[in-house]
């Protein structure tokens, strides 16, 4: 079968013929309906150096995946061929404390993980192919009834990652509070909806693109502001001078981190979701008192189940641009150029269950 593979660091992906996988004991073969095109893949192609990560090329791209069970390995129960499923992307050892509760993103036994800190599409073959081999059945999550696998694919990262970030700040998102979402792209357009669907907070969206701000308004943002020198002041004005209780930075560059620190409230949360390479100077007087600053990486398997439930109930709407399998390189090129609304999804076999 054909697959879109990253063959070396700092290179563009290439189509290659690979052997069609067959599931062994405990494994599941998934026919891919949709594979999300994630900005972090651009970092893999353009930024990372050999040895920077504990795994590396060659591997098939695509770490946001959903489709249908195609075949089951010996001993797999609870799944059936043809069943629509999503693939939980981060693959840990499965036995450490964090993995046992489904937080395989933070596996504490890297020697036992197939690709420490990674998973399918991140060091191991992912979903930019007709079929994807999932090495452990626990990573295959049945889709709720009525949820299209193509729309579900981005939820496994672009939905799960901001959901985890928002969920950890739920105690601060009470009635009368304000959340700021910086960057209304693939992750941010879902982060905005997650705040609206799961909390009583007002949402202020910030982006440099007017089309993204228009999209934010369509999705229910209470206020949508262009990013600029006066943005922090406008957020303070909108919050009667106190600032935002929670800031979700889906970009993570110097400018957005500075904005997050400038507009956050005392005792608030600033959560860095985007990996834009920025830094945030920290000293006694550079941040509001008791502002908590944290990074997050993906989310847990139980949280993915919650995200899929929200989508199936119509509380999360994934805005996507579909690309045929042969158009996958162009999907990455358009993502790199900017201007995509929502998430790009490659559909290797979307019309064949």
Q: Are strands 14-17 and 178-182 parallel, antiparallel or unpaired?
A: unpaired
How far apart are the C-alpha atoms of 234 and 75, rounded to whole Å? 58
Residue 353 lies in a domain: no
The one-character DSSP state at 230 is T
Which segments of the chain are extended strands (E)?
A: 2-6, 14-17, 28-37, 59-60, 65-72, 84-87, 119-120, 123-124, 131-134, 140-142, 178-182, 202-207, 223-226, 244-249, 264-272, 292-295, 320-324, 343-347
Nearest to 4 by CA among 351, 334, 349, 346: 346
List the structure tokens of 343.
């998430």
Element (H, E) at 149: helix 149-152
pLDDT tens-digit series, residues 241-270? 999 999 999 999 999 999 999 999 999 999
Residue 220 lies in a domain: yes
Same-domain check for residues 175 and 145? no
What's the confidence (pLDDT) of residue 341? 86
Residue showing tokens 């002041």: 233
Q: State the number of CA atoms in the 13 A half-sphere of 277 facing the CB.
A: 6
Same-domain check for residues 309 and 285? no
pLDDT tens-digit series, residues 163-215? 999 999 999 999 999 999 999 999 999 999 999 999 999 999 999 999 999 99
Contacts of 188 (CB under 8 A, 6+ apart): 162, 181, 182, 205, 207, 212, 216, 248, 250
Same-domain check for residues 305 and 291? no
What's the confidence (pLDDT) of residue 350? 61
What's the confidence (pLDDT) of residue 127? 97
User: In sequence order, what DSSP letters do the residues of 70-90 get, joined into one string?
Assistant: EEE-TT--S--TT-EEEE--B
**Looking at the chain, how many residues does it have?**
353
- Could you tell me the CA-to-CA distances from 209 to 66, 212, 276 in Å, in that order? 30, 5, 17
Residue 315 lies in a domain: yes
Residue 352 lies in a domain: no
What's the confidence (pLDDT) of residue 340? 85
The share of the chain scoring above pLDDT 90, in percent, equals 91
Same-domain check for residues 222 and 281? yes
What's the confidence (pLDDT) of residue 68? 98
Residue 78 structural domain: 2-157+299-347
Which stretches in the chain have pLDDT values below 70?
Answer: 350-353
Residue 148 lies in a domain: yes
Cα dihedral 43→90→125→41 (10° resolution): -10
Same-domain check for residues 131 and 171? no
Same-domain check for residues 57 and 181? no
Number of domains in the chain: 2
Same-domain check for residues 280 and 211? yes
Q: Tell me the CATH number at 175.
A: 3.40.50.720
Q: Tell me the CATH number at 306.
A: 3.90.180.10
Same-domain check for residues 118 and 199? no
Same-domain check for residues 13 and 140? yes
Q: What is the CA radius of gyration of the chain?
A: 20
Please give the order of strands across the beta sheet that includes 178-182: 223-226, 202-207, 178-182, 244-249, 264-272, 292-295
Same-domain check for residues 212 and 259? yes
Same-domain check for residues 76 and 6? yes
């Amino acid at each position: 079968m054909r697959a879109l593979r990253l063959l070396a660091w700092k290179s563009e992906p290439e189509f290659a013929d690979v052997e069609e996988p067959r599931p062994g004991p405990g494994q599941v073969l998934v026919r891919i309906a949709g594979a999300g095109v994630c900005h972090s893949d651009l970092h893999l192609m353009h930024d990372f150096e050999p040895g920077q990560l504990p795994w590396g090329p060659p591997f098939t791209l695509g770490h946001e995946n959903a489709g249908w069970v195609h075949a089951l390995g010996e001993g797999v129960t609870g799944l059936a061929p043809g069943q629509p499923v999503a693939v939980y992307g981060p693959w840990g050892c499965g036995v450490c404390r964090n993995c046992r509760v489904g937080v395989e993103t933070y596996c504490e036994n890297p020697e036992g993980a197939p690709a420490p800190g990674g998973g399918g599409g991140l060091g191991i073959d992912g979903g930019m192919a007709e079929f994807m081999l999932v090495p452990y059945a626990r990573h295959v999550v049945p889709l709720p009834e009525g949820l299209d696998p193509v729309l579900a694919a981005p939820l496994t990262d672009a939905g799960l990652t901001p959901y985890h970030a928002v969920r950890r700040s739920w105690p601060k998102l009470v009635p009368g509070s304000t959340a700021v979402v910086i960057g209304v792209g693939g992750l941010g357009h879902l982060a905005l909806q997650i705040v609206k669907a799961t909390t009583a907070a007002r949402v202020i969206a910030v982006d440099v693109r007017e089309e993204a701000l228009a999209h934010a308004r369509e999705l229910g943002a209470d206020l949508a502001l262009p990013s600029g020198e006066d943005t922090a002041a406008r957020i303070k004005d909108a919050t009667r001078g106190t600032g935002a209780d929670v800031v979700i930075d889906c970009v993570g560059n110097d400018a957005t981190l500075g904005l997050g620190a400038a507009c956050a409230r005392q005792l608030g949360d600033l959560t860095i979701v985007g990996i834009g390479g920025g830094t945030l100077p920290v000293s006694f007087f550079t941040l509001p008192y008791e502002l908590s600053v944290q990074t997050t990486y993906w989310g847990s398997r139980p949280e993915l189940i919650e995200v899929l439930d929200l989508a199936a109930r119509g509380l999360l709407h994934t805005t996507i641009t579909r690309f045929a399998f042969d158009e996958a390189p162009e999907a990455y090129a358009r993502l790199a150029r900017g201007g995509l609304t929502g998430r790009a999804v490659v559909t290797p076999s979307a019309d064949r269950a």
